[in-house]
Structure 1
Amino acid sequence: MSDPNNNPLEHRFEGEHPVRTLLYLYRNERFRLLLGLLFMLIKHSPIWIMPLMTARIIDVVTNRELHPLNELWVNSAILLVVLLQNIPFHYLYVQVVSRAVRSIAVRLRSSICRRLQQLSIGYFSKHSTGVFQSKVLRDVDGIEQFTRNLYDTGIATVINIIFAFGVTALRAPSFLLVFVIAVPVAILLIRLLRKRTAERNRALRMEVELMSSRVNEMASLISITRAHGLEGNAIERVESALERVRAAGLRVDQLTSVFGASSWVIFNCLNMGCLIFAAWACYTGFLPITAGDVVMLTGYFTLITNSVLGLTAFMPQVLQAFEAVHSIGEVLQSPDLEHNENKAVVTNVDGAFRFEKTGYTYEGAGAPAVHDFTLDVQPGQTIALVGASGSGKSTLLNLVIGFIRPTEGRILLDGADMVGLDLRVYRHFLSVVPQESILFEGTIRENITYGLVSATDDIVEKALRDANAWEFVSRLPDGIETRCGERGARLSGGQKQRLAIARALIRNPRVLILDEATSALDTESEALVQEALQRLMAGRTTFVVAHRLSTIRNADKIVVMRGGRIAEIGTHSELLDADGLYAQMNAR
């Protein structure tokens, strides 16, 4: 179980307001965030204090009888100290807030990645990896940027307004009515902006996710695209997504620009009106204010209107952050989980399987992919699954691996119903060799020992020898430290497949899944891989899917599937003698 303190969004927040979710995110960094708020208030103080100090200095000049010259030096000294403190406190502010924000971003990305590991395999078949990348990178970056701007724009502007109102209430309370005009105008602008901007930001986010998916798709299909001369089609698909992102972004920018320009004109007109009214009130004696008060009030009114403008400009960022929280929540709130909590921990696997009228129906499918599948498998037996495409072979393998659980019947592992087992632990005793070996950008050693930190060089070499891979690995310039390239791009298909076998061998699994492990290989590579597979399969319960029937002649049981059901079952010779579906397939 992961520690919820280290994974802040492992938390149910269905239906709650994004603000509450953000506060939940911030809770582990609350000390730093509060300290940053204190430093921000101190370093930001010149903006609030300068109009007041300026007013007092002007009053010294315009009213010498009431204000001696030494007040000029005192006020100047105060102003200088207030200005100079900005340097150290700004540094402290940036350090504290940056540490908090970056820690939040790391934990948030970690929570998303942890959640992705908990989701069912079916969830990933419904969503593009490009969408996940966008959530981990773009959405978290949006929340990080929002948090920074919350201090620099959000909180600072609110404090500006509070301070301006407070000092004005003390120095010229009769002028407060003029200030109050700015608040309804700001609220009206924000209300007008909020709804339409939220809609357009949501549309932009969805288009960016689609674009990310298209780019990822293009990269994964590059070899197929080149082989069929479809570069133009691939570029057209990506550019179509890019154009939609451009259009959606322009719609957001257009709306923001209209409100931004309108706000600027309105507030500057209000600023000018405030200056004229304050000057007139001082000149005529309509209000008991001094020349210094005129400057102070004008300065504070400008501060208020600029702050309101800042809040108006900040609202789209708030909405983007809320949308990012919603986007991330699509992953973190997904109920499509592989449920393993509080289930029996598998401590040992012999490899005996019993399928009792097992079936599985995919969500939204009209008919079951596997139905009424009954079979006994003894430890160490090899079970071959053959049949036409769509006959249920892959679904059955996914049931054995535990990627999906039966929707009818049950599967017993060593006598225990797999529904009650923690499949994460069970898979420690299982290895899969797929049709296309999946290698990551790293060394041969890192790929083979993936997840096994204690494997020595001798163990790695033995696995490579047993997999018929040592001969070509030893000839490489850096041996087992040779980098494979992304998805093993620097290796041939046969070499990658032998490394996949070495990866399986080094784990010494009790259950083995071979999914078309030799179908994509040439004759020479297939012979080497087949020899390695025989070593791998020895003494292990093995489920094999193969189109080449020559590769499964020695299987203990060959299960012929059709329409999700068992059509025939027996050994190679028994099925040939039966002259049924398997014999027809073998004759082709």
Structure 2
Amino acid sequence: MGRVTSPSRSVTSLIDGQRPLHSVLALLGMHKVRVAGAVGCFVLKETPVWLLPIITAGVVDVVVAGGPLSHLWWWAAAAFVALVQNYPNHLGYTRLFMSVVRQVGADLRNALTARLQTLSIGFHTRVSASVVQTKVVRDVENIELMLQQVTHPLLSASVVVTAAVVTTAIEVPLFLPVYALTIPLAIALRYMLMRRSRAYNEAFRRQVEVFSARVGEMATLMPITRAHGIESTAERRVAEGAEGVRSAGYELDVLNGRFASLSWVGLQLLGAGTLILAGWAAISGWAPITAGQVVMLSSYFALITGGVTQVLMLIPVGARGLESVRSVAEVLQEPDLEDNAGKASVGRVAGRVRFDGAGYRYPDSATSALSDVDLEIAPGETVAFVGSSGSGKSTLLNLALGFLRPTQGRILLDGVDAATLDLRTYRRWVSVVPQESVLFEGSIRDNVTYGLGEVSDERVWQALRDANAADLVAGLPEGWETVVGERGARLSGGQRQRLAIARALVRDPKLLLLDEATSALDPESEGLVKEALARLMVGRTTLVVAHRLSTIRSADRIVVLEAGRVIEVGSHAELLSARGRYAALHAAQG
């Protein structure tokens, strides 16, 4: 059986930031049947546009000739049929093409989401969440708008030009060279704009991304800003970003305005010239042209110039959409992936972790964050990591979790090199309780069972009881259906942390990572959280990072890090009696 390719992967393979127009055509090519049907409906619905000038010419000639009246009724019947059929075919075009546009938008958003889930933690550390949100929301919307707003006039202009050229070739072939004048003018105008439009659109997009990052930063820092009375500083930073957007947007608007005016004036002069030329030809006898044909030629040229003008006017929309394709490609083509494809899946975890000469150096860093770490952690053992800021504690946890791949040595998980494992399957057996628990806008139950699918009520209640959160939930008017607010804003820090512990408990992990899990809590909350953590740690391999040494006295072993190296290992009592770095840290904390 062949391998099934997910839509997200298919879309990702089609996007090329260096060839945005090719990428858009490839995306439409995924829906060939519907696109072909939409084009067919469009050609039929546009029949009145090119047929009415012929009908008008025929009616004028009938009037000039004084009959016969039956010819007039035939022209009227043709006009009626051409106009009435527009409704069903326009509806068919809208349904078919817009279903493709909306599907392309959904496919792009899904592809971006899937890609973001596979990119490394290093990428997410470097790139602002607000910028990522702008790409998923605004840039994909720009691509949808480009397809909506450019396709209709482009198809319309194509139909009109084809019909006008064919009809004129049959009726008045001498005038075909006049139509050809629109081509060099349109190309010249397009070249004038596109030469500068890409740079202006890219500058505008970058300013919008900077502004989005500033707004996200403002929202995140709001408590700090208000607590320190520095509202004016926050306002100034956002205002600087808004000024960047205003300035770049204004320059782009002026460029588009100049182009729009040049396009309109140039093409209207050609249209007026065609009318005068056709009239002169008819009057002077230079060409056998009837009064009706003069009207037809003038109408066709007006339609051609109008269609070309409309297409040219939409070049700014197209340029913005293509720039958004480049923006989306920055994520879809980002090479900094967590590579799990084709690696062995993990079906069972005992909880043994070994750092075998492991080290890590961050990109562009002159020194290693960790060097030559040799440490084996047995299943069910609790090991705490302490040291001053920058000593490598968090880097070590990220290595154990597989968020970072060692640049020196290796990490063994249950005796197997982590580099050979699909770490997504390994993490199903892992739970993390960070310093700041992360909750989403949803009910307490949804937050506790996040990602687990169907979980029995008893299992959830047991997790809440073990996390010292059952009384908290029972005391709420809506129980565990209570919505916690964005990032758990309606709960205190201690309450959020206990729900994070319940989330860990309900997963029954084999490996537990605690990163400063109690450092931000008041004494009462800390007591409840410590008690819950004690239950959570029973029988599980636990790696603890802590600044407050009082929280790790009961650890089986304490590992002291300094400048990325292990300098001491032992129990609390052993390290105190050794009178080394740990003893000094303990004395400093009183």
Give the TM-score normalised by structure 1.
0.98
Q: Match of 1:473, SS?
A: helix
Q: Match of 2:124, SS?
A: helix
Q: Match of 1:450, SS?
A: coil
Q: Match of 2:11, SS?
A: coil
Q: Name which of 24, 46, 49 aligns with 2:48.
A: 46
Q: Is contact 2:18–2:326 with CA below 8 Å preserved after alignment?
A: no
| More divergent stretch after superposition (318-327 vs 438-447) | 318-327
The aligned amino acid for 2:111 is S
Q: Match of 2:450, SS?
A: coil
| More divergent stretch after superposition (53-62 vs 24-33) | 24-33
How many angstroms does 1:45 deviate by?
Answer: 1.4
| More divergent stretch after superposition (25-34 vs 478-487) | 25-34
Match of 1:106 in 2: 106
Q: Is contact 2:445–2:481 with CA below 8 Å preserved after alignment?
A: yes
How many angstroms does 1:488 deviate by?
Answer: 0.6
Match of 1:513 in 2: 513
Match of 2:60 in 1: 58
Structure 2 residue 392 is matched with structure 1 residue 392: yes
How many angstroms does 1:429 deviate by?
Answer: 0.4
Q: Match of 1:9, SS?
A: helix
- Give the whole-Å Cα distance in 2 for the aligned partners of 1:178 and 1:472: 82
How much identity, in percent, do the aligned residues show? 49
Match of 1:80 in 2: 80
Match of 1:368 in 2: 368
Structure 2 residue 63 is matched with structure 1 residue 36: no
How many angstroms does 1:2 deviate by?
Answer: 7.5
Match of 1:377 in 2: 377
How many angstroms does 1:151 deviate by?
Answer: 2.5
Match of 2:219 in 1: 219
- Give the whole-Å Cα distance in 1 for the aligned partners of 2:538 and 2:14: 47
For residues 113-132 of structure 1, the aligned pairs below 5 Å read 113-132=113-132
- Measured against aligned partners, the alpha-carbon deviations of 1:519-555 in whole angstroms (never above 9, x if no partner) come to 0011111111101100000010000001111110011
For residues 67-466 of structure 1, the aligned pairs below 5 Å read 68-466=68-466
Q: Is contact 1:484–1:490 with CA below 8 Å preserved after alignment?
A: yes
What is the Cα-based RMSD across aligned positions, in Å?
Answer: 1.3
- Measured against aligned partners, the alpha-carbon deviations of 1:12-40 in whole angstroms (never above 9, x if no partner) come to 65575222211221233221111111111
How many angstroms does 1:334 deviate by?
Answer: 0.7
The aligned amino acid for 1:535 is R
Aligned residues: 586
Unaligned runs of 5+ in 2: none
| More divergent stretch after superposition (82-91 vs 8-17) | 8-17
- Give the whole-Å Cα distance in 2 for the aligned partners of 1:294 and 1:203: 48
- Measured against aligned partners, the alpha-carbon deviations of 1:107-126 in whole angstroms (never above 9, x if no partner) come to 11000000000100000111
For residues 9-24 of structure 1, the aligned pairs below 5 Å read 9-11=11-13, 13-14=15-16, 17-24=19-26
Q: Is contact 1:7–1:110 with CA below 8 Å preserved after alignment?
A: no
Match of 2:28 in 1: 26
| More divergent stretch after superposition (15-24 vs 302-311) | 15-24
- Measured against aligned partners, the alpha-carbon deviations of 1:121-142 in whole angstroms (never above 9, x if no partner) come to 0001111111111111111111
Q: Name which of 4, 7, 16 aligns with 2:6.
A: 4
Q: Match of 1:162, SS?
A: helix
The aligned amino acid for 2:85 is Q
| More divergent stretch after superposition (507-516 vs 212-221) | 212-221
Structure 2 residue 557 is matched with structure 1 residue 553: no
Q: Match of 1:11, SS?
A: helix
- Give the whole-Å Cα distance in 1 for the aligned partners of 2:148 and 2:328: 19
- Measured against aligned partners, the alpha-carbon deviations of 1:287-308 in whole angstroms (never above 9, x if no partner) come to 1111000000000111111122
The aligned amino acid for 2:203 is A
Match of 1:485 in 2: 485
Unaligned runs of 5+ in 1: none
- Give the whole-Å Cα distance in 2 for the aligned partners of 1:380 and 1:43: 72
Q: Match of 2:46, SS?
A: helix
Q: Is contact 1:8–1:25 with CA below 8 Å preserved after alignment?
A: no
How many angstroms does 1:250 deviate by?
Answer: 0.9
Q: Match of 2:371, SS?
A: strand
- Give the whole-Å Cα distance in 2 for the aligned partners of 1:468 and 1:15: 51
- Give the whole-Å Cα distance in 1 for the aligned partners of 2:501 and 2:299: 75
For residues 574-585 of structure 1, the aligned pairs below 5 Å read 574-585=574-585
Q: Match of 1:10, SS?
A: helix
| More divergent stretch after superposition (108-117 vs 2-11) | 2-11
- Give the whole-Å Cα distance in 2 for the aligned partners of 1:253 and 1:234: 28
Q: Is contact 1:271–1:305 with CA below 8 Å preserved after alignment?
A: yes
How many angstroms does 1:89 deviate by?
Answer: 1.7
| More divergent stretch after superposition (566-575 vs 37-46) | 37-46
Q: Is contact 2:218–2:234 with CA below 8 Å preserved after alignment?
A: yes
- Give the whole-Å Cα distance in 1 for the aligned partners of 2:422 and 2:8: 23
| More divergent stretch after superposition (289-298 vs 97-106) | 97-106
The aligned amino acid for 1:389 is S
Q: Match of 1:363, SS?
A: coil
How many angstroms does 1:212 deviate by?
Answer: 1.1
Give the TM-score normalised by structure 2.
0.97
> CA distance change for structure 1 residues 323 and 233 in 2, over 3 Å: closer, same or farther?
same
| More divergent stretch after superposition (191-200 vs 146-155) | 146-155
How many angstroms does 1:158 deviate by?
Answer: 2.0
The aligned amino acid for 2:34 is R
The aligned amino acid for 2:41 is F
